[in-house]
Amino acid sequence: MGEIRIEGLTKVYSGNVTALDRLDLTINDGEFFALLGPSGCGKTTLLRTIAGLEVATSGRIHIGERDVTKMSPGDRDVAMVFQDYALFPHMTVSDNIAYPLRIRKVDQASRAQTAARVGAGLGLNGLLERRPGELSGGQQQRVALARAMACEPSAFLFDEPLSNLDARLRLEARTFLKGLQHQLGVTTVFVTHDQAEALAMADRIAVMEAGRLRQLGTPAEIFHRPIDTFVANFIGSAPMTMLDADLVRGRLYVAGTTIEQEVAVRWSGPDPSDGPVVLGIRPEYVRVGAFGPMTVQATIRIVENLGATVLLTAETASGDRLQALVPDGTQPAVGAQVELSPVAERVLLYDEEGHLMTPATQAAPAPA
Amino acid sequence: MSDHAADAAGLGRPRAAAFMAPALLLITAFLVVPALWTLVLGATNYRLTGLAAANPQFVGTGNITEALSDPGFGWSLWLTLLFVLGSAIFGQSLAGLSLAWSLRSAPKVVKAVVETLVLMAWILPSSVVAFLWVAYLSRHGGTLNAILQTPGTDWLIQHPMASIIVFNIWRGTAFSMLLFSAALSAVPPSQMESARLAGAGTLAQLRDVVFPHIRGHVLTNTLLISLWTFNDFTPYLLTAGGPNHATEILPVFIYNRALYGGELGYGSAISFLMLIINLVIALFYVRLLRERR
Amino acid sequence: MSPQAFLRRVGFVLFLAVVTAFWALPMLWLVTAPFDAHPGLTVRWPEWTLDNFRRLSESPYAFSSLRNSVLLAGGAMILVTVFGALAAYALSRVHVPGRGAILYGMLLLSSIVTGTAAMVPIFQLMFTLGLIDDRTGVILVLTGGLLPAAIFVLKDFMDATPRSYEESARVFGASPTQVLRHVVLPIARPGLATIAVWALVNAWGDFLTAYILLRDPTKTPAGVVMYTFYSEGGQANLPLISAFSVLYALPVVVLYIFVSRRYGFRFHGGIKS
């Protein structure tokens, strides 16, 4: 009922700016779906095109059974919550929530009743007669949500729903939104530039760049197996360490060490051709000490305290920089010579074009 | 991203055109057409009555050459120049600046009173202020004579230009005062304090700190009020151009010759010259604004 | 206090005193004469009475002219606000080709084609249209002159209103007229009120346009009638003039006080303060 299917969607602005480039995407009914990417990648354009605020240059959009590509925004049966909530300042909270019903010509009494019910469900009791200007940021967000819920649409569209809240409130709101969406079971598409937010809230994520879809998958898939170096760099609180390496006859030469059979034999497909590759490993999966087939000698240069963890930046003899995230209290001092071992199962190899080479047949690694 | 989010309500081009239509119609009718018409009419010898009313002849630039050799026009132009120079460029600007500067350090009550008085002079309707000044300057019983102890002086007859210049300063200073007030408050206090600590007196502060900051505003303000003063008809309400053409500034000259005297063609030619002068001043103003942006 | 500082202080006080006197004196008559049983031209302590106002009804044109002023000013206010708002909204939201040029062109035009510079062609135009001695004509001319600046200000105002409000309403199914009524106009109310007051005050104080376009004394507004009261030959009827001046000037003064209380009369001439 609330499935959103996008076929070959293209949006070109005057001046030959391509905001969306032949996108194909299916959002499942009831899914909490994130559109993630840097600014200018087209995620907001995509959201607005689904809403009908932008007209696609070519391609089709289906919501449920209906082809809504040519429909005006009011007929698509979607509700949109904007970044600034767009609560009408001259109307009370109750009137704001009931606004979609007013357009649908529901009578005043029923409108007020629905507004009260929906508002109560979001903890807005007692605020119904106030004006939006008198509410806190969190309350305003809930009013905007209530307004979207009041018309019981097929899908919710959220444009950066959390960016107007301050940092502490944002985390609470994240949990709240996730719970609410799960409870309502309505298809929800939200746009964010914050990868942590997308990973935490979404069932599936579409990572976009320059109007194209880079990767589509669950948070776990995106985090553990970013499909190219762009996604790899974009995801993760601490950036993934990328090291230039050479693959020669099944052996990996990187950071002054050679990885022998252990890594090389895991290719189950055709052997990758020799040549320069990029090795990616997250600091979370680099340990201090000699474990596993890949061990690198390095000198600790920078120590950053992150609370419960410490981020180490080390330099190898070959001049490469390698980062490791270790529990607080176990970090070596600056200048210490240590051995760093990436967890073999977490190592990812990217070819010259930045595409992922490591096959997916690798079994999910046991917790270290 | 003007294309992107512009049409928020989904107006669409045709409806937008419909929305703009009434306003554009009125503006075309009462601004564009008259401007063009001045050109056309100014090239004829059209009069309200007589032969030329029924059968106006095309005289080309005849009106303009007649105007340029008409001593009345030359005299009127000269008077207008004096008027603008005296009451706008020097009078209102200086008065506005000195008021804005002094009131900065005046107690709140004084500031409120003075500003209100100056503003009242600006917003009261023109016929009312005109009569107030007629009464004020009147020969027998005028308050000015009572205060200056100069009984029997008929200011509007004996010193007509001075009277209307002072009147216009009184009337128009409010704008300059407000403008300079805003401009002065935008001068960073830290710079003024640095100057004061370095030993600069008021004049030096004005010259070295304040003036560079407000120089642009002085220029744009002067242009604007010059434009307004040049076009100001209000002195008519005091003297109607008299006594004996002594205060016949250009707006009054046009009225007297064209609408009162019926020489519409000639009056249009003068209006045309006036439009040109307005255009020049306005273009200067726009140019200045662009440079400062 | 040093002698220089003292002198400076004295100079400062003197300057302010002179300034205050210069501005206040001509206006004093307006405060004393209307309430004076036998008003003269000089300012003096009045013999308090309200008789002069009662006598206004003896003049055939006093009250009718005030009514005309209300008509003209009200008419211009309504037209300027409505037409200006519609045009400003369209210009603000829809990408009309060359809208920047249109706006600046209009503004430039209204500064150049002033009432004074255009008095001859306007007279001629209205004569041709048969609108001489017609109050509607005056309203139209006044509106035309005030519209460019009004549109300029209103457009600026609407540009600053976030579009998300209108888009939000649109996604909820509101038609463009509903968006205008439910969302845009209520939010733009302060800007609309300012322009309405500004247009009203301008039109109320107009002299020239009414003076050249109206003949019938029963149609002329207060500005022109006021002039005829004191410019016609013979002894000026001071009780009449004084009372009339107050009534004519009062609405403007009241509006000023109201607006400056509400919004603070701080227009900047283009400066951010």
Q: Report the alpha-carbon distance of residue C241 to residue C249 in Å, rounded.
A: 12
B13 touches chain A (CB under 8 A): no
CB contact (8 A) between residue A54 and residue B10: no
Query: If DSSP codes are grouped into helix, strand and coil, which group holds residue C126?
Result: helix
Query: If DSSP codes are grouped into helix, strand and coil, which group holds residue A326?
Result: strand
pLDDT, greater one: B13 or B79? B79
The tens digit of pLDDT for each residue in B192-221 reads: 788 878 777 777 887 888 888 888 888 888
Taking the complete model, does pTM exceed 0.80, yes or no?
no
Residue B33, burial from CB neighbour count under 10 angstroms (0-12, 13-18, 19+): middle
Name the residue ranges covered by the structural domains of chain C: 3-49, 60-262
Contacts of A13 in chain B (CB under 8 A): 3-4
Q: Report the alpha-carbon distance of residue B83 to residue B77 in Å, rounded.
A: 10
pLDDT at C128 over 70: yes
CB contact (8 A) between residue B16 and residue C96: yes
Q: Which residue has the tokens 């354009």?
A: A45
Instruction: Write down the pLDDT at residue A28.
Output: 94
> For chain C, percent helix, then strand, then coil, each to nearest 5?
75, 0, 25
The token pair at A363 is 């079994």
CB-CB contact of A198 with A41 (8 Å)? no
Instruction: Write down the pLDDT at residue A360.
Output: 61
Q: In chain A, what are the domains?
A: 4-229 (3.40.50.300), 237-350 (2.40.50.140)
CB contact (8 A) between residue C168 and residue A74: no
Q: Report the alpha-carbon distance of residue A355 to residue B112 in Å, rounded.
A: 72
* In a domain? residue B81: yes
Q: Which residue has the tokens 């200045």?
A: B288
B168-179: string of b/e by CB count within 10 Å (b at 16+)?
bbbbbbbbbbbb
Going by pLDDT thresholds of 50, 70 and 90, the confidence category of residue A268 is very low
pLDDT, greater one: B262 or A161? A161
Instruction: Write down the pLDDT at residue A359.
Output: 66
B4 touches chain A (CB under 8 A): yes
* In a domain? residue B16: no
pLDDT at B85 over 90: yes
pLDDT at A294 over 80: no
Number of compact structural domains in chain B: 1
Beta bridge partners of A243: A279
The token pair at B71 is 């001593």
Task: Give the residue numbers spanning the domain of B140.
Answer: 73-292
CB-CB contact of C68 with C222 (8 Å)? yes
Q: Which of A8, A71, A75, A13 is nearest to A45 (CA)?
A: A13
H or E element: which one contains A204? strand A204-209
CB-CB contact of A13 with A34 (8 Å)? no
The token pair at B57 is 């002849």
Instruction: Write down the pLDDT at residue B3.
Output: 39
The tens digit of pLDDT for each residue in C175-207 reads: 888 888 898 888 888 889 889 988 999 999 999
Domain C60-262 is in which class?
A: mainly alpha
CB-CB contact of B249 with B235 (8 Å)? yes
- Please give the residue of chain C at the shortest CA–CA distance from A83: C164
pLDDT, greater one: C47 or B83? B83
Contacts of C186 in chain A (CB under 8 A): 88, 90
Q: Which residue has the tokens 């059974």?
A: A65
Q: Report the alpha-carbon distance of residue C255 to residue C261 in Å, rounded.
A: 10
Mean pLDDT score, C142-157 = 90
Instruction: Look over chain C and give the mean of its residue pLDDT values, rounded to a whole number.
Output: 86
Count how many Cα atoms sit within 13 Å of the Cα of residue A14 in the half-sphere of its side chain. Answer: 5
C-alpha pair distances (Å), C143 with each of C75, C128, C147, C199, C252 = 9, 19, 6, 8, 19
Amino acid identity of B153?
Answer: T
**Residue A319 CB partners (closer than 8 Å, separation 6+):** none
Mean pLDDT score, A34-45 = 93
Query: If DSSP codes are grouped into helix, strand and coil, which group holds residue C170?
Result: helix
B273 touches chain C (CB under 8 A): no
Report the gap between the CA of A45 and the closest CA in chain B (Å). 9
CB-CB contact of B249 with B83 (8 Å)? yes
**B window 47-86, beta carbon within 8 A of C:** none
Query: Of the candidates A13, A72, A73, which has its C-beta nearest B3's C-beta?
Result: A13
Beta bridge partners of A340: A288, A296
Q: Report the alpha-carbon distance of residue B50 to residue B243 in Å, rounded.
A: 29
The tens digit of pLDDT for each residue in A139-168 reads: 999 999 999 999 899 999 999 989 888 888
Determine which of C172, C175, C183, C189 to mutate to test the interface with A (most A C-beta atoms within 10 Å): C172
CB contact (8 A) between residue C173 and residue A100: yes
Query: If DSSP codes are grouped into helix, strand and coil, which group holds residue A277?
Result: strand
pLDDT at C233 over 90: no
Going by pLDDT thresholds of 50, 70 and 90, the confidence category of residue C66 is very high
Q: Which of B83-97, B149-163, C83-97 has the highest mean pLDDT?
A: B83-97
B141 touches chain A (CB under 8 A): no
CB-CB contact of B46 with C160 (8 Å)? no
- Please give the residue of chain B at the shortest CA–CA distance from A19: B4
Residue A113, burial from CB neighbour count under 10 angstroms (0-12, 13-18, 19+): middle
Q: For the ranges A120-134, B30-44, C7-21, which has the lowest average pLDDT? A: B30-44
Q: For the ranges A33-47, A53-67, A247-261, C117-131, which has the lowest average pLDDT? A: A247-261
Report the gap between the CA of C155 and the closest CA in chain A (Å). 20
What DSSP assignment string belongs to B76-106? Answer: HHHHHHHHIIIIIIIIIHHHHHHHHHHHHTS
Q: Report the alpha-carbon distance of residue C196 to residue C155 in Å, rounded.
A: 14
Contacts of B3 in chain A (CB under 8 A): 13-14
Going by pLDDT thresholds of 50, 70 and 90, the confidence category of residue B2 is very low
CB contact (8 A) between residue B11 and residue C118: no
Query: Of the candidates C162, C172, C189, which has its C-beta nearest A99's C-beta?
Result: C172
CB contact (8 A) between residue C121 and residue B271: yes
pLDDT at A368 over 60: no
Give, as one character, the DSSP assignment of residue B56: P
CB contact (8 A) between residue C25 and residue B224: no
* In a domain? residue B201: yes
Count how many Cα atoms sit within 13 Å of the Cα of residue B17 in the half-sphere of its side chain. Answer: 4
Q: What CATH number did the domain enclosing B215 receive?
A: 1.10.3720.10
What DSSP assignment string belongs to A102-133? Answer: HHTT--HHHHHHHHHHHHHHTT-TT-TTS-GG
